[in-house]
Amino acid sequence: MRINPRIVDKAMSICLSSQAFFTVGILIVIIAIICIKGFPYISFEFLFSSPEDMGRHGGIFPSIIGTIFLVFLSILLATPLGVGTAIYLTEYTKESRFTKIIRFGVESLAGIPSILYGLFGFIFFVIKLKMGWSLLAGVLTLTIMILPTIIRTSEEAIKSVPRNLRIVSYSLSATKWETVIKVVLPSAVPGILTGIMLSVGRAVGETAAVIFTMGSSLRLPTSLMDSGRTMAVHFYILAREGISMEKAYATSLILVLSILSINIIAYYIMNKVISKYS
Amino acid sequence: MDKKIQVERLKVFFEKNEVLKGISIDVYRNQITGFMGPAGSGKSTLISTFNRMIDFEENVRIEGKVYIDSIDIINGDVNGVDLRRQIGTVFAVPIPLPRSVYDNIAYGPRLKGISDREELNKLVEDSLRKAFLWEEMKDRLNISALKLSGGQQQRLCLARTLALKPEIILLDEPCSGLDPISTAKIEDALSELKKDYTIILVSNNTKQIARISDYSAFFYLGELIEYGTTEKVFTNPSRKQTEDYISGKFG
């Protein structure tokens, strides 16, 4: 006998909504703990002064700057490389064994644990190319690490732009490149930005790959060859070495807030583009 | 009469499938030439060779000659981009680009390098007027083209093509998805436009061909069955197949 369909629907609705609440609930609890434990220690001084006594006292200014430089420069390098690769794979080649191999490689790279990228960066950039623990070595390593994500998401976004739009653009005497720049990319921007945002999140929160390549100096990095410490690394060391849980929570709160604000800015840019090209 | 396009023994193969089986036809300047025939007759393939849009299809082989103003565009050293400035296309489904009405029409001219605002404004207005769309759009140039109705979108596509200042306009079943009033507006626009352009209208709608075209061609399974003045083809067709198609017995 068939179970009363209305009961099934009701039961499934309750089941699925409780799953959703459970997921969001965990997120809220984590953020709440970070806020409650970290908020009391956040002050102007915490944000804008240097750490003292290994971070037991003072602020996190150098690691804020270190994080911004590292993430900004990595994204700046990885975005044109990744989007360019995606354009090449989707617009300039036919599906062949060659593109399949590239795509397979990209997918495999996306699944590699970050510590392996860290070790590679350490051996190749830090030791072999004699960069030492430096912002530059960190940037290059993170660029390689986030490239696969940007390539894959950009490729999907570009593929989802209707073929008709390209045909119309060609029929109006556009070249392939003009079509890519004026029609394909604007329509793909939301998808590409999503990939970039995922990558920003990964880069901001990365510790293993960063410690190996950028080091963990507490000084303010002033050049590409300086070592430095990101907020995530700072947080990791504070907590792991038992230096100061208060400062660790305060650092993680700033970390969470900065990811949040980056996301808000990205959505703002996305809406600007969408309203122009719709 | 002056020949704008001359096709000589044109064959087109998709892989091993012969889609056009040696077509020869002359298209006259400043006339509307109607291409009709059932699906699979090769009429759309034929016009896609004129502006080399066929280059974007895969596994295509072309034999024969197509002269436009006496230049062989199949075998000669012809650049597709330049060719498409000369030959505009309007597709069966209106495909507005995702941007404003103004930017849609200015798309082609901007590619040509026109950036002067005055000049663009004038081009946009002229093109919209010729497509019988100016009165409806003059206060709404900055709204998204996606918000227009189907009929308006198709006239926008016509205006966008006109803005390129082509010499030839190819229309591939431009009214297939439109209501009778929108269709009438497009037909009115075309009848005006033939003074300045050579127009090829591909359609399944024999009545439409009869109404507005000066010359009519009937294609069937990749062959040109009949070609002549519209009056001759519709009142006194020389082939049985043409008569059957026009009278609605098949197709």
Q: Which positions in chain A touch B99 (Cβ < 8 Å)? A: 276-278
Q: Who among A164, A173, A277 is closest to B108 (CB)?
A: A173
Q: Residue B34 pLDDT > 90, yes or no?
A: yes
Q: Residue B176 pLDDT > 90, yes or no?
A: no
Per-residue confidence band for B249, with pLDDT thresholds at 50, 70 and 90: confident
How confident is the model over A239-248, as pLDDT tens digits?
998 888 999 9
Q: Residue B104 pLDDT > 70, yes or no?
A: yes
How confident is the model over B4-23, as pLDDT tens digits?
999 999 999 998 899 999 99
Q: How far is A110 from chain B (nearest CA, A)?
A: 32
Q: Who among A171, A174, A278 is closest to B89 (CB)?
A: A171
Q: In chain A, where are the structural domains located?
A: 5-41, 44-276
Cα dist from B251 to A150, B33, B180, B190, B244, whole Å: 50, 20, 21, 25, 9
What is the pTM for the complete model shown? 0.84
- Which helix H or strand E contains B247, and what residues bound it? none
Q: What percent of chain B has pLDDT over 90?
A: 70
- Asked if A237 contacts B59 with a C-beta cutoff of 8 angstroms, the reply is no
**ipTM score for this prediction:** 0.90
Per-residue confidence band for B39, with pLDDT thresholds at 50, 70 and 90: confident
pLDDT at A57: 86
CATH class of A44-276: mainly alpha
User: Which stretches in chain A have pLDDT values below 50?
Assistant: none
Measured distance CA(A142)–CA(B91) in Å, rounded: 46
Per-residue confidence band for B246, with pLDDT thresholds at 50, 70 and 90: confident
Query: Which candidate in B54, B83, B97, B105 is best for mutational testing of the A interface (most A CBs within 10 A)?
Result: B97
pLDDT (average), residues B240-250: 84
Contact assignment for A276 to B93 by CB distance below 8 Å: no
Q: How far is A175 from chain B (nearest CA, A)?
A: 7
Domain architecture of chain B: domains with CATH: 3-246 (3.40.50.300)
pLDDT at B25: 95
Q: Residue B57 pLDDT > 90, yes or no?
A: no
How confident is the model over B191-216, as pLDDT tens digits?
999 999 999 999 888 899 999 999 99
Q: How far is A170 from chain B (nearest CA, A)?
A: 8
Give the bridge partners for B223, in sequence order.
Answer: B220
pLDDT at B111: 93
Q: Residue B100 pLDDT > 80, yes or no?
A: yes
Q: Who among B82, B95, B111 is closest to A174 (CB)?
A: B111
How confident is the model over B125-144, as pLDDT tens digits?
999 999 889 999 989 999 99
Q: How far is A156 from chain B (nearest CA, A)?
A: 19
Q: Who among B80, B99, B160 is closest to A172 (CB)?
A: B160
Question: Among B193, B192, B168, B161, which Cα is nearest to B95's?
Answer: B161
pLDDT at A272: 86
For chain A, the average pLDDT equals 92
Contact assignment for B98 to A173 by CB distance below 8 Å: no
Per-residue confidence band for B251, with pLDDT thresholds at 50, 70 and 90: low
How confident is the model over B69-96, as pLDDT tens digits?
989 999 888 888 999 999 999 998 899 9
How confident is the model over B145-160, as pLDDT tens digits?
999 998 899 999 999 9
Contact assignment for B93 to A164 by CB distance below 8 Å: yes
Q: Which positions in chain A touch B58 (Cβ < 8 Å)? A: 94
Q: Which positions in chain A touch B144 (Cβ < 8 Å)? A: 278
Strand duo B60-68 + B3-14: pairing: antiparallel
